[in-house]
Amino acid sequence: MDRIRIYGGQRLNGTIPISGAKNATLPLMIASLLTDKTLVLDNVPRLADVNLLQRILGNHGVDIMVSGKRSGETQYDGQTLHISAANVIDTTAPYELVSRMRASFWVVAPLVARMGEAKVSMPGGCAIGTRPVDLLIMALERLGVEIEIDRGYVIARAKSGLKGGEIKFPKVTVGGTHTALMAASLARGTTVIENAAREPEVTDVADCLNKMGAKITGAGTSRIVVEGVAKLGGAHHRVLPDRIETGTYAMAAAMAGGDVLLENARSELLQAALDVLVRAGVEITATNTGVRVKRNGSGLAPVEVTTSPFPGFPTDLQAQLMALMTRAKGTSHITETIFENRFMHVQELVRLGAHIQLDGECATIEGVSALKGAPVMATDLRASVSLVIAALAAEGETIVNRVYHLDRGFERLEDKLAACGAAIERLSG
């Protein structure tokens, strides 16, 4: 199993290209199941989760062609996928595949909307809490889908098609909103989604669905209206930049010190996180080509942050911020309101010398003057990258084990950081 070795203490200077967003790419690929025409996606990141979803969709009969590199493209340019679900040969998504990536459960919506049936394994628990699918099922039922749960599978049926309806989410859910949007696009009549997720990835998916012929208004607000259409067509869509990758490298630069341009990043996609960094004493400038992050000499100030749905501070940056605050001058508080149990990184940060106390959903982080390198391991994607951030400022060598978590969501992480001067390398095998 690959590991990553980091020697802390190097400043970061240079440019880091930001890839296409994983959390938009996955639902966009799944949306290809809504049509028998080809969906072309540009700026798709090279990630283990994208490869796994290709396999899952392949199992349904979806044909995916990856374009070769065009002249002038660099190793960092995203890939182009040509996705055709002209021949759906199987509407079952088995446990072996769904259990490896929760988001693959979302295939249930386009499959039942277009094919009239789907049998999809329940995703089960995961390292960051129970993460149920009850609200996704509720959304489908509101659109006339009959749901049966049998031996760990959700069986969804709508033999005479879906009917528009009113879906009111009791809590904001990204996956629930994607599910509702995809299903409602092919339902008869109008669907109103209340308390919809406002995450930029939801807006990106809605934009793509509209290019495919859907009639969606209000995406990006908490009330989305979908006029169902009988059929969707093909489209060509460019995946928006990854705001979580952007925030992660912004925190890496803040931790190590230096001056880094996050190329292609869009500040409006993560304003709440950038505002927190400014409060911590980091210089942030939005430029024509991206976001510039600078910290020279000055120490970090502690912050008080509570995670919340967009446009609030994202849960997917909570672990990284906590790593950063281990070196602040004073005491920070971070409250996690989206996922219970999303503090798996705390024990590992403590191994590096951090002072962190947990009390329910609130973490108190007392800044220390130095962290010390150690072998660490992480149990999920965002937790493992928080250890990389801590290691950038730790004295001596840190080895991050179980790098496959990082490869799920960060493209060429070690290359991007090494190009800016970090002493980081992958140890294979």
Contact 40, 235 (CB under 8 A): yes
Closest separation in Å from C-beta 179 to ligand UD1: 9
The site string for ligand UD1 over 8-37 (x = CB under 6 A, - otherwise) reads: ---------------x--x-----------
Among 65, 86, 90, 132, contact with ligand UD1 (rule: CB under 6 A): 132
Q: Which residues contact 52 (CB under 8 A, 6 or more apart)?
A: 97, 100, 101, 104
Scanning 155-163, 172-180, 207-215, 323-331 for contacts with ligand UD1 by CB under 6 A, the matching segment is 172-180
Nearest to ligand UD1 of 131, 157 (CB atom): 131
The site string for ligand UD1 over 99-128 (x = CB under 6 A, - otherwise) reads: ---xx-------------------------
Q: Is 126 a catalytic residue?
A: yes
Q: 207 vs 1, 42, 148, 233, 240, CA distance in Å?
A: 39, 14, 32, 14, 11
Closest separation in Å from C-beta 349 to ligand UD1: 19
Q: Compute φ and ψ for 109, nearest 5 degrees.
A: -70, -55
Scanning 112-120, 133-141, 325-333, 358-366 for contacts with ligand UD1 by CB under 6 A, the matching segment is 133-141
Among 5, 37, 131, 294, contact with ligand UD1 (rule: CB under 6 A): 131
Nearest to ligand UD1 of 223, 329 (CB atom): 223
Closest separation in Å from C-beta 428 to ligand UD1: 28
**Which token pair is 367?**
């800044």
Q: How many residues does the chain have?
A: 429
Among 110, 144, 175, 258, contact with ligand UD1 (rule: CB under 6 A): 175
Peptide bond before 311: cis, by omega within 30 degrees of 0? yes
Contact 314, 247 (CB under 8 A): yes
Closest separation in Å from C-beta 159 to ligand UD1: 24
Closest separation in Å from C-beta 288 to ligand UD1: 28
- Beta bridge pairs of residue 215: 227
44 binds ligand UD1 (CB under 6 A): no
136 binds ligand UD1 (CB under 6 A): yes
How many binding residues for ligand UD1 (CB under 6 A)? 20
Closest separation in Å from C-beta 23 to ligand UD1: 3
56 binds ligand UD1 (CB under 6 A): no
Give the Cα separation of 335 and 254 in Å (integer): 21
Scanning 108-116, 130-138, 328-336, 349-357 for contacts with ligand UD1 by CB under 6 A, the matching segment is 130-138
**Residues 321-380 interacting with ligand UD1 (rule: CB under 6 A):** 338-339
Nearest to ligand UD1 of 23, 332 (CB atom): 23
Q: Which residues contact 337 (CB under 8 A, 6 or more apart)?
A: 306, 307, 308, 315, 361
282 binds ligand UD1 (CB under 6 A): no
**Residues 236-265 interacting with ligand UD1 (rule: CB under 6 A):** none
List the one residue out of 77, 73, 126 whose CA is nearest residue 103: 126
Q: Compute φ and ψ for 379, nearest 5 degrees.
A: -110, -5
**Which token pair is 1?**
């199993």
135 binds ligand UD1 (CB under 6 A): yes
Q: 86 vs 37, 42, 63, 231, 269, CA distance in Å?
A: 6, 20, 8, 13, 34
Give the Cα separation of 55 and 53 in Å (integer): 5
Closest residue to ligand UD1, judged by C-beta, is 175
Nearest to ligand UD1 of 339, 410 (CB atom): 339
Scanning 9-17, 143-151, 169-177, 272-280 for contacts with ligand UD1 by CB under 6 A, the matching segment is 169-177
Scanning 2-10, 168-176, 206-214, 418-426 for contacts with ligand UD1 by CB under 6 A, the matching segment is 168-176
316 binds ligand UD1 (CB under 6 A): yes
**Packing angle between helix 22-31 and helix 200-211, nearest 10 degrees?**
30
Closest separation in Å from C-beta 398 to ligand UD1: 25
203 binds ligand UD1 (CB under 6 A): no
Residues interacting with ligand UD1, by CB under 6 A?
A: 23, 26, 102-103, 131-136, 171, 173-176, 201, 315-316, 338-339
Residues acting as catalytic residues: 126
